[in-house]
Amino acid sequence: MRSLLLTVLATAFSALLLLGTPAQTNVRGELSTVYTAYDKAVAGRDFKTIAAFYAPNYEAETEQGTISRAESLKNLQDFFATTSAVSTSQTTLEKVDQTGGATVAFITRQIKGSMIFAAGKTRQFEITTKAEEYWTKNDKNVWLIYSATEHGQTLKVDGMEESADVLESSRTQLETIYEKIDAALKTRNVGAMFVYWAPDFTEIQDGKEAASEEVEADIKALFAKISVVSSVTHKISSIKAANGSHVVEVARTIEGDMVVNNKKAFFEYNYQAEESWVENEPGLWKLKKSEITSGKFLIDGKEVK
């Protein structure tokens, strides 16, 4: 599903809608009008309207290589078949160049909507693409796009940056694990947390490495000072596959009460981390490394170093 979505956006969405209106003298104005109409067609998932206006020789240069007109149309059709709604399509025309007989539009395109993923779950997606799109007029003085070059693309699903290598099942499993770790933190259940740690787990903070046993001892010592954990929340900003691991960027906030100098005090711990997970067996994930990239511990609103 994820690979299809990225391929579609790298290719099929480079096609532009044709307007059957008289030619205007201002090229930028003409293309702005066409892009407005294109966005309307995308929001309506109007495959026939968009497909009719690919130039016969259309090609797109993407990370996957050169994609033909036929491949682009197939990807576009597949994409519309998997979307349950496209809520927004907005193309920003950054610049227009006319050099060597070519008309080149530099654009940023953002498309938002919902798609059906694994197990019938609906998720919200947001795709942002930067590209050059090359235009020509046919013998009827109507603009057609004949080439496109992608210069960057990001995909977010439910607000999280996605990677083509991350399967929906892996994403769901890791999200579930983070929810269970939150629950273990709230009940101060060290064992329930460390069931997910690999035997050779390493934590890195401020350039210093700590092995699993040392991290566990530090957490137990902290839990001994805490009387209650009132809230634990996390937000995953990205999951990416790299070198046999899944790397998760996560931010977590833990709040509650603890004893300081024999008095109850309110604490708040915020940190961000980059964590590497490996799947030793199907569905069996272990945390190999957690690098704390930033953190702040506050007691009664005052930061403790």
Q: What is the pLDDT at residue 167?
A: 65
> How do residues 169-217 score in pLDDT, each as one tens digit?
788 889 899 999 999 999 999 999 999 999 999 999 999 999 999 999 9
**Contact between 94 and 120 (Cβ < 8 Å):** no
Contact 17, 51 (CB under 8 A): no
- 38, 33, 49: which is closest to 14 by C-alpha? 38
- Place 77 in a pLDDT band, splitting at 50, 70 and 90: confident
Position 273 pLDDT exceeds 90: yes
Q: How confident is the model at residue 53 (pLDDT cuts 50, 70, 90)?
A: confident
What is the rounded CA–CA span in Å between residue 77 and residue 107? Answer: 23
| Rounded percentage of the chain residues whose pLDDT exceeds 70 | 88
- Average pLDDT over all residues of the chain: 86
Segment 136-163, tens digit of pLDDT: 888 888 888 999 999 988 888 888 776 6
The DSSP bridge pattern shows strands 284-299 and 65-68 to be: unpaired
In 3D space, the residue among 176, 129, 119, 134 whose CA is nearest the CA of residue 155 turns out to be: 129
User: What is the spatial distance between Cα 265 and Cα 253, in angstroms, rounded to a whole number?
Assistant: 17
